Amino acid sequence: MRNTRVNAYEDIPREVVATGNDYPPHRVLPSHAHKRGQLLYAATGVVAVTTAGGSWVVPPRRALWIPPGVAHEVCMNGTVSTRSAYVRRETAARLGLPGRCRVIEVSPLLHALLLEAVDLPAEYDLDGRDGRVMALLLDEIAAAPALPLNAPLPADPRLARLCRALLQAPALEIDIDAMAHKAGMSRRSFTRLFRAQTGMSFGLWRQQACLLAALTRLGRGEPVTRVAAELGYGSASAFAAAFRRALGVPPSRYLLPGD
């Protein structure tokens, strides 16, 4: 596995190159950008990514697509092992990969391809087995389904400032009227602008922020009961039900490899 900085591979004459890295708990990679698009795969551990446009959480065995040129900060929760595929801008456009960050489900095939890709030569043989592996890797990235694991940030500076503060300490009881007052807006103006700039209601956004915080805390090994109480759920069962509605499985299973 190549454990290296991607800058050395940005200009390799291949549509996609792959690297792998291991990080200690709490390691933070300051905001940076790549010429290529990046599929950041959390093989183990939980990764939190922040951009000017929002916040994303990547649980184990899931991945985040980061478009070319998007500045992003990466925070490791627990011991993290990543595999990343870096896709040329032109290739990303040809495959129809999105122009915004998106968390994706990683199939067993995509998982295996990512593990294999990091062990291939940087300038792999395009016409041989290695080239076919990397071509299939690109197809699987393009076909992967999206997951609802983000909280978009509004463009309005007042709303963005409040949302960033809420992401640091989310809770279900945070009141929409209090948020509107802090923004210096009426409730009606606040709700209208918030939906226009994030694509969702404040109530749904608040739930998403709590979900992202829950995934991060669970990834650190915090018990479900404490996470549920600190986020404002009435009980652990209420939290588990909300978690299941959003992600399809209870929190006790979601962070297990392969789920």
**Percentage above 70 pLDDT, the chain:** 95
Return the pLDDT at 78: 84
Mean pLDDT, residues 135-159 taken together:
94
pLDDT band at 259 (very low <50, low <70, confident <90, very high): very low
For residue 80, name the pLDDT band (cuts at 50, 70, 90).
very high
Average pLDDT over residues 47-58: 94
Q: Is the pLDDT of residue 54 over 80?
A: yes
pLDDT surpasses 50 at 134:
yes
Whether residue 87 contacts residue 97, with contact meaning beta carbons closer than 8 Å, is answered with yes
Range 183-206 average pLDDT: 95
Q: What is the chain's percent helix, strand, coil content, to nearest 5?
A: 40, 25, 35
All structural domains of the chain, each given as residue ranges with its CATH number in brackets, are 6-147 (2.60.120.280), 154-254 (1.10.10.60)
| pLDDT of 256 higher than 70 | no
* pLDDT at residue 77 in the model: 87
Q: Residue 229's closest CA among 221, 240, 219, 220?
A: 240
**pLDDT at 6 > cutoff 80:** no
Report the alpha-carbon distance of residue 123 to residue 9 in Å, rounded: 9
What pLDDT is attached to residue 128? 96
